[in-house]
Structure 1
Amino acid sequence: MGDSLTTASDTLTRRFVPRLRQPSRQWRHRPEPRNALPALALFASLRLTGVILAALWSLHLGKHPRTVLGLEWDGHWYWHISQYGYGMIIHSPGGHSVYNDLAFFPLFPGLIQAVSKVLPIGPINAALLVAWSAALIAAWGVYAVGELLHTRRVGIILVVLWALQPHAIILTMAYTESLMTAFAAWALYAVLTRHWLAAGTLAVLAGLCRPNGIAVAAAVVIGAVAHLWQLRRAGEPTAPRAWAAAALAPLGWLGYIGWVGLRTHSPLGYLRVQSLWGSRFDFGHYTAHMIKHLIIGHDTLVAYVTAAIVLGSLLLFVFCVVNKMPAPLLAYCAALVVITVGGTHFFTSKPRFLLPAFPLLLPLALHLARSRLRTLVVLLAAMAGVSLFYGTYLVTVSHATP
């Protein structure tokens, strides 16, 4: 009887708990571009289809596709910073909010300016070129993490799932999510393979992209501390590069926050700028209020999709914890989820804030990797239809801020 229970337990463990590569294999792993080609081809095909649909519907509505993808919402702020630097302040009607461009981190507009100086394509096209290039690099990094931790099949499915998120159209707009995810994915890969200086440098760059770029620094710090603790317990020499990575990782984010503090003459200047936009941290009270409102009241399709994505992300995070995902990935996802759920205002933008949290999709990728090919194709095709339709609706019809 005991042997039968042990056998059953082992079977369940093999089936439902992800099996990671042996640590030595992880450290020796090298990302092969040719292995990632199917994942990149699928990603490019899906996102190109999304761009074409959005462009066609934009033309149908009398809008220029480049304006929709490159200048709508935050895209206009990044364009203005790239052309004129910081200093634009807009007061909302009624004076309830003050929109200050110091809320936007500098790396993306800096890259727009650099590319538009090198290539005579104009700043809007330069912004789209940076975003699209970063999206491909990010997809490669997402694949590399999935393959490293599991198998090539899991890596490919993980990329496809990431490309089919309802808000994935954002990855091909003049927004910073694709750039941050590119740095984040490769930083996580560097942590898992113990390339500490690369991990720290990539975390610095991610911290210069977006406010939630601090999540990458958290992952690097947790990974370095865990590695140093293992060395200490094993009685092995310490790793100076791990110490350096932990010290280096938050400097990009802290550097910009400090610069805003100097510019506003207050150490809490950046928090003040965000609060004037209506963005504060209230430990999830605003998010809970909005979900309650959706249950007892009525709102737009985008609001309901947002609530589903937020709640789904919380559930996926629980699965990641149960499946014993590596600590750096858990720290990264936890930081993104906490920042997203705990923040106020811009409720319909919350799925965009979660776009870089691709490790949350690993439990789904693992489950789908065990499915038959026909089942997998049918399911992903259905998801593609929903994602492409919703993405087009989001940026061309909906008036919600993505």
Structure 2
Amino acid sequence: MSVSAPPRPVEVAPAPVRGGRPVGRRIPRPDAADREVLWLYALTRTGLWITAWAVRWLFPSSGENREPAPLLAPWQQWDWQHYLSIARDGYFPGGAGPWTAGWDNREAFFPGFPLTLRAVHTVVPDWTAAGLLISFVAGAVAVLALARIARHQLRDLDAGRRTVMFFLLSPCAVFLAAGYTEALFLALALPAWLAAQRGNWRAAAVLTCLACSVRVTGLFLAAALVLHFVLTVKDRAAWRRAPWLLLPALTPVLYAWFLSARTGDWMAWKHAQERGWYRDFHTPWDAWSHTWEAAFQRTQAAGYAVMWQAELLAMVTGLVLLVVLVRRRRLPEALYTALTLWALGTSYWYTSVPRSTLLWWPLWIALAGWSLRRPRVRTAYVYVVAPVGVIVAVTFLTGRWAG
């Protein structure tokens, strides 16, 4: 009978503090643990790219095709078209807008990713390749930050690698590789949270401000930062840095002003969400009921119904995570999770909840901590949950709805 070794503690030396902020602390260079994380990242990216290459041959648009689809065609799905249109043509090309018949409601998407895409496109001529490059680089930054947060929280040398493994093999991991916002958001949000853990509130605020330009979820992160500041800062001098925590509100306000100047509507973003994705307010029980009906009452095509089943499962997962965080008194992370669940759970029905699990970094850390106590958790995850990620990847890469 084998006995697992006890967790190996990590000694974290406190940084010298002056005026409520660390002094002389630099960004740590990649060490052996970081290189192991990047190795896992490279392996999973390779697996996803092989999958994308294979679906071009295995799932042609017509049974009569003798040639596969173009190399990058599998990555040109769904929301990518919105980001591409914004980056290439702007938000209101040729005076078109919500007043135009057939409008695509592109103002529902924040400008951070399209602006980054346009900038990278000046160097990388192919738009799709530029989007994939953004997500590739951003994903690497995100997993390094996630691993360091996990090691700091769990105090175990293996915690970072385990957390990243759970994260990269998660059911919706394909969206980290696609030209979507998840990787870029996490590349800003996770270093922001790491900076907050180290007491560098100015860096945390600046990074969160940038994250707010990518996804509205950045505002939930900003709220968690404020609560974390209130709960942890005891030095009176440190409160001089509190105004920095107002900075993240700047980008959403500027975006609302931009849309108002062109549409006359300060709530243009919200109204675009309502028109395009039924994100008008409904009570949580109504949202659950509508999603349940779509998932199980045969009101939708089978391919859509199974994804609504996934939406329900992801919502339950989020609620369980919230309970765990509250019981463990991880209140800032609980606030972030609660705000995310409220935003996703009060529409007509659930949309993109499985994708949002990628943004719940406490979930992946909690799973890693559980697996350190119960080694079979990791084995079960690899053999049961990871294959679901292949199913979702093939679903997305073949142009079917995958949340």
Tell me, what secondary structure is at the counterpart of 1:131?
helix
Give the aligned partner of residue 274 of structure 2: 275
Cα distance in 1 for residues equivalent to 2:341 and 2:308 = 18
Give a deviation string over 1:180-205, Cα, whole Å, max 9, x none: 11111111111111111100001111
Secondary structure of the 2:176 match is helix
Instruction: Provide closer, same or farther for how the CA distance between residues 22 and 385 of structure 1 changes in structure 2, counting only shifts above 3 A.
Output: closer
Greater CA deviation, 32-41 or 191-200? 32-41
1:233-312 aligned at under 5 Å gives the runs 236-241=236-241, 243-277=242-276, 278-293=278-293, 297-298=297-298, 299=302, 300-312=305-317
The answer to whether the 8 A contact 2:325-2:333 is kept is: no
Q: Please state how far the C-alpha of 1:111 moved relative to its aligned partner.
A: 1.0
* Alignment CA distance shift 1:294-1:105 (3 Å): closer
Please state if 1:33 is matched with 2:34.
no
C-alpha distance 238-188 of structure 1, shift in aligned 2 (>3 A): closer
The change in CA–CA distance for 1:380 and 1:295 in structure 2 (over 3 A counts) is: closer
1:148-181 CA distances to partner (integer Å, 9 max, x unpaired)? 1112322211111111221110111010011111
What CA distance in whole angstroms lies between the structure 2 residues aligned with 1:385 and 1:223?
A: 33
Task: Give 2:63's aligned residue.
Answer: none
Q: Which moved more, 1:295-304 or 1:260-269?
A: 295-304
Check conservation: 1:316, 1:361, Cα contact below 8 A.
no
* Larger helix proportion of the pair: 1
SS at match of 1:367: helix
Q: Give the distance between the partners of 1:279 and 1:20, measured in 2 at CA.
A: 44
What is residue 215 of structure 2 aligned with on the other side?
210
SS at match of 1:324: coil
2:387 match:
386
CA contact (8 A) 1:188 1:329 kept: no
The equivalent of 2:66 in structure 1 is none
Structure 1 unaligned regions, length at least 5: 1-14
Alpha-carbon distance in 2 for matches of 1:113, 1:365 = 37
SS of the aligned residue for 1:387 comes to: helix
AA at the equivalent of 2:30: P
Summarize the Cα distance change of 1:401–1:378 in structure 2 as closer, same or farther, 3 Å threshold: closer
Alignment correspondent of 1:367: 370
Deviations 1:214-234 (A, max 9, x none): 122112222233345x33xxx
1:132 & 1:126 partners in 2: Cα distance? 10
- Aligned-pair CA distance for 1:257: 2.3
Query: Partner letter of residue 106 of structure 1?
Result: P
**How far, CA to CA, are the matches of 1:68 and 1:38 in structure 2?**
29
Question: Which of 130, 133, 140 is the equivalent residue of 2:137?
Answer: 133
In the alignment, is residue 58 of structure 1 matched against residue 61 of structure 2?
no
Q: CA deviation at 1:43?
A: 2.6
Query: Does the Cα contact within 8 Å between 2:74 and 2:398 map onto a contact in 1?
Result: no
1:207 to partner: Cα distance? 0.4
When the two structures are superposed, what TM-score results if normalisation uses the length of structure 1? Answer: 0.83
Query: Residue 378 of structure 1: CA displacement?
Result: 3.1
Residues 12 and 152 in structure 2, CA contact (< 8 A), matched pair in contact too? no
Pairs aligned (count): 370
Residue 230 of structure 2: aligned partner: 225
CA contact (8 A) 2:86 2:114 kept: yes
Where structure 2 has 5 or more consecutive residues not aligned to the other structure, the ranges are 1-5, 17-21, 61-68
Equivalent residue letter for 2:138: A
TM norm structure 2: 0.82
Give the aligned CA root-mean-square deviation in angstroms.
2.9
Whether 1:174 aligns to 2:173 is no
Structure 2: how far apart are the matches of 1:359 and 1:353? 12
> Which deviates the most, 37-46 or 131-140?
37-46
Structure 2 counterpart of 1:3: none
Match of 1:190 among 186, 191, 195: 195
Corresponding residue of 1:111: 116
Pick closer, same or farther for the CA change 1:256–1:225 going to 2, 3 Å.
farther
Kindly indicate whether the alpha-carbon contact (under 8 Å) linking 1:68 and 1:396 is maintained by their aligned counterparts in 2: yes
Q: Distance in 2 between matches of 1:240 and 1:78?
A: 39
Equivalent residue in structure 2 for 1:350, among 353, 358, 362: 353
Distance 2:206 2:257 in 1: 19
Query: Following the alignment from structure 2 to structure 1, what is the Cα–Cα distance between the partners of residues 386 and 402?
Result: 22
User: Can you list the C-alpha shifts for 1:131-155, whole angstroms capped at 9, x where unaligned?
Assistant: 1111111111111110111123222
Matched, 1:337 2:336: no
